[in-house]
């Protein structure tokens, strides 16, 4: 049910390059998994609310106070490529 074309669409959305062989292989595996997951269709969930959070009752906020991070240097140095304090990437266009 998840054919090669869909797998290629997904590969593009998730920005992972795959070969045609991999697309075929993943299509079979993912289809099998989704067949199993179709089990969920047995249930009637029409009036059920989705469960997203558990135990939070009050608003969780941060005050609008500036705290300068002392990690700017490390952050830039962790970058595989940087130039003059900016992250360098191949031309976008």
Binds other proteins (CB under 8 A): choice among 5, 20, 24, 45: 45
| CA distance to 13, 66, 75, per residue, from 69 (Å) | 33, 9, 10
Determine the Cα–Cα distance for residues 8 and 2; give it in Å rounded to an integer. Answer: 10
Among 7, 20, 21, 24, binds other proteins (CB under 8 A): 7
Does 1 bind other proteins (CB under 8 A)? Our answer is no
Does 21 participate in binding other proteins (rule CB under 8 A)?
Answer: no
Q: CB neighbours (10 Å) of residue 7?
A: 21
Rounded Cα gap, residues 88 and 86, in angstroms: 6
Distance of CA 83 to the CA centre of its chain: 28
76 is an interface residue for other proteins by CB under 8 A: yes
5 binds other proteins (CB under 8 A): no
Q: Does 64 bind other proteins (CB under 8 A)?
A: yes
**Given candidates 17, 20, 21, 24, which one binds other proteins under the rule CB under 8 A?**
17
């Amino acid at each position: 049910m998840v054919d090669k074309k869909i797998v290629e669409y997904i590969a593009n959305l998730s920005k992972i390059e795959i070969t045609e062989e991999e697309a075929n292989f993943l299509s079979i595996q993912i289809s099998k998994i989704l067949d199993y997951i179709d089990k969920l269709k047995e249930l009637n969930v029409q009036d059920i609310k989705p469960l997203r959070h558990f135990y939070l009752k009050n608003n969780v906020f941060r005050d609008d106070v500036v705290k300068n991070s002392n990690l700017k240097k490390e952050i830039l140095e962790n970058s595989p490529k940087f130039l003059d304090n900016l992250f360098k990437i191949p031309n976008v266009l």
